């Protein structure tokens, strides 16, 4: 089964898919792996694993601090792949996508990166600073190795951009709930339902919403609109506190769905 198929299957359950985000190498290598295991135990249907980068344009303060700490810990792209391999050898089977920026992937080599990612058990990629118009080479490499390349849409996306992303995304489409960077908010955007509906009419591909979701109540509300719920900053903040705090929030989020 390819990564694309494994990701698609995660959206066929009787609840919206729960997709937590975790920074590889944070708060340290062992702690990061332990966090991921906790998220799986709490019921994650998909995993979004952050590859640290020095200029994370889409990320807010919480994730910026975490990725910087991960870099200071010596986390490299090769080490991120090694960590995924380690998780797979330890029995973690949950579909996993790497969320990373294009520069480190280019430095690694697009074809080599796709091949190595698939070999260690990565199922897909999320590259927030790579627009679909410029993604042909990486897209081809992902297709060659059965990896899902997932594109992002924002509330400001035009009908033309929605159509293009819908045609090109594999596995699901990542809907950014608001304009701006990642980070938990006190309330959800008032136009979220309208945004999801605008995309829904153009595709049958599952829609997963991220950015700004920080508690069970918000996750439940988003799950009533979308096929998947992505939670990042709130969990990363808990990872800086303790494993128990991560587990507590992850269980709350999964139960809400």
How are beta strands 47-50 and 17-23 bridged, if at all?
parallel
Q: Tell how far CA 251 is from the center of its chain.
A: 18
Q: Which position among 48, 116, 123, 227 bears the catalytic label?
A: 48
Ramachandran area for residue 88 (φ above 0: left; ψ -120 to 50: alpha; else beta):
alpha
Q: Which of 5, 14, 41, 59 is catalytic?
A: 59
Q: Is 244 part of the annotated catalytic residue set?
A: no
On whether the CB atoms of residues 176 and 152 are closer than 8 A, the answer is yes
Alpha helix ranges (H) inside the chain: 3-9, 29-41, 61-72, 77-89, 102-108, 110-120, 136-144, 159-168, 192-200, 216-223, 233-239, 243-256
Residues with Cβ within 8 Å of 224's Cβ and at least 6 positions away in sequence, in order, are none
Known catalytic residue: 59?
yes
Task: Give the active site residues.
Answer: 48, 59
């Amino acid at each position: 089964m390819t990564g694309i198929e494994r990701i698609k299957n995660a959206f066929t359950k009787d609840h919206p898919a729960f997709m937590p985000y975790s920074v590889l190498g944070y708060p340290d290598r062992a702690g990061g792996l332990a966090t991921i295991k906790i998220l799986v135990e709490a019921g994650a249907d998909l995993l979004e694993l952050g590859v640290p980068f020095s200029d994370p344009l889409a990320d807010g303060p919480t994730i910026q601090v975490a990725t910087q700490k991960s870099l200071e810990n010596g986390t490299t792209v090769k080490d991120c792949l090694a960590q995924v391999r380690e998780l797979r050898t330890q029995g973690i089977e949950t579909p996993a996508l790497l969320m990373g920026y294009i520069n480190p992937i280019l430095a690694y080599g697009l074809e080599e990166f796709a091949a190595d990612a698939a070999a260690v058990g990565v199922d897909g990629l999320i590259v927030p600073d790579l627009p679909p118009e410029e993604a042909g080479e990486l897209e081809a490499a992902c297709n060659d190795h059965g990896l899902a390349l997932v594109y992002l849409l924002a509330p400001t996306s035009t009908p033309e951009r929605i159509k293009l992303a819908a045609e090109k995304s594999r596995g699901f489409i990542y809907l950014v709930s608001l304009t701006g960077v990642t980070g938990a908010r006190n309330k959800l955007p008032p136009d979220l339902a309208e945004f999801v509906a605008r995309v829904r009419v153009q595709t049958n591909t599952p829609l997963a919403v991220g950015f700004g979701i920080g508690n069970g109540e918000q996750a439940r509300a988003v799950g009533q609109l979308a096929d998947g719920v992505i939670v990042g900053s709130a969990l990363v903040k808990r990872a800086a506190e303790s494993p128990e705090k991560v587990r507590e929030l992850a269980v709350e989020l999964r139960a809400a769905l």
